[in-house]
């Protein structure tokens, strides 16, 4: 049984007062037994303070350094070991905003995922096609290639999570049809089975991300092979984030 994971990606949002208040609101909602897992990924500026607050859910970074060492001459970078040291449990890697704006290749994403796993963090490895790729009928080919290139051989269902986020659905209010989501998630799981074996693939969680809102969450999260959501904009308001989570009670 794959337990659903409701994950918030705050991106580059929240100054201290707002971010700590939002974290506290999420932690207050999640201080009992829940039938699903919850993760929040604040910006690096707040990660240490958020992780130091009492909590019973996952707290993650949005990225880790690709550098081959835990410390050294890598100005501006924060290693997976440093993120772990702050008290985090997870980190996003390979988000499409980093692939596009920071030219991160599958190889870079895979190396970051390896570093995360090596440091004891669970990477949430993101994949997803652009609109041009979807319109060219290439969505499955693009996403399965990203899986082959971005998921390290050390990945297991316990130490790794996948997120399928069509680039054209992120922050746009557009979402794929449930049939399209089912098709891609099925293809991702089949590719994971080829790369890691079917036992691991069957248990590994594959999140959907891209314009998940309270109004569409129940439907998206009931699609076969969808094991949770990676939520951007709607994770910044406790009412919306929790309305999405509440669809899973």
Is 234 within 8 Å of 175 (Cβ atoms)?
A: no
What string of H, E and C letters represents the secondary structure of 2-20? Answer: CCCEEEEECCCCCCHHHHH
What gap in Å lies between CA 95 and CA 125, rounded to an integer? Answer: 7
Min dist CB 8 to ligand PGA, Å, is: 9
Footprint of ligand PGA (CB under 6 A):
9, 165, 170-171, 209-212, 230-234
- Which lies closer to ligand PGA via its Cβ, residue 9 or residue 111? 9
- Which lies closer to ligand PGA via its Cβ, residue 196 or residue 212? 212
Min dist CB 92 to ligand PGA, Å, is: 8
- Which lies closer to ligand PGA via its Cβ, residue 30 or residue 62? 62
Min dist CB 4 to ligand PGA, Å, is: 16
Q: Which of 95, 104, 114, 129 is catalytic?
A: 95
What gap in Å lies between CA 249 and CA 244, rounded to an integer? Answer: 10
Min dist CB 114 to ligand PGA, Å, is: 22
The pair of structure tokens assigned to 222 is: 């009931």
Pairing of strands 5-9, 37-41: parallel
Q: Is 165 considered catalytic here?
A: yes
- Which lies closer to ligand PGA via its Cβ, residue 39 or residue 116? 39
Q: Which of 81, 104, 114, 165 is catalytic?
A: 165
- Which lies closer to ligand PGA via its Cβ, residue 126 or residue 196? 126
What CA–CA distances, in Å, run from 237 to 9, 18, 36, 129, 241?
12, 10, 19, 27, 6
What gap in Å lies between CA 235 and CA 151, rounded to an integer? Answer: 26
Q: Which residue in the shown chain puts its C-beta closest to ligand PGA?
A: 232
Min dist CB 125 to ligand PGA, Å, is: 13
Query: Which residue do the tokens 């899986």 mark?
Result: 147
What CA–CA distances, in Å, run from 174 to 48, 131, 218?
34, 11, 16
Residues annotated as catalytic are 95, 165
């Amino acid at each position: 049984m794959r337990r659903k994971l409701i994950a918030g990606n705050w991106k580059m949002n929240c100054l201290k007062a707002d971010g700590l208040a939002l974290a506290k609101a999420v932690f207050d909602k999640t201080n009992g037994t829940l039938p699903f897992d919850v993760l929040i990924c604040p910006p690096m500026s707040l990660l240490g303070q958020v992780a130091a607050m009492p909590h019973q859910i996952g707290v993650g970074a949005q990225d880790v350094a690709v550098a081959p060492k835990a410390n050294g001459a890598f100005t501006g970078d924060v290693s997976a070991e440093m993120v772990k040291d702050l008290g985090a449990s997870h980190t996003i890697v390979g988000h499409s905003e980093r692939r596009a704006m920071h030219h991160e290749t599958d190889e870079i994403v895979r190396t970051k995922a390896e570093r995360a796993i090596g440091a004891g963090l669970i990477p949430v490895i993101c994949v997803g096609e652009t609109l041009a790729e979807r319109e060219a009928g290439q969505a499955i080919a693009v996403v399965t290639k990203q899986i082959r290139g971005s998921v390290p051989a050390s990945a297991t269902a316990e130490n790794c999570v996948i997120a399928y986020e069509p680039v054209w659905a992120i922050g746009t209010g557009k979402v794929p049809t449930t049939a399209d989501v089912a098709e891609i998630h099925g293809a991702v799981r089949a590719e994971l089975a080829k790369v890691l074996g079917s036992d691991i693939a069957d248990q590994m969680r594959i999140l959907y991300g891209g314009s998940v809102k309270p109004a569409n969450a129940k439907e998206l999260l009931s699609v076969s092979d969808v094991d949770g959501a990676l939520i951007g904009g709607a994770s910044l308001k406790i009412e919306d984030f929790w309305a999405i989570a509440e669809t899973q009670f």
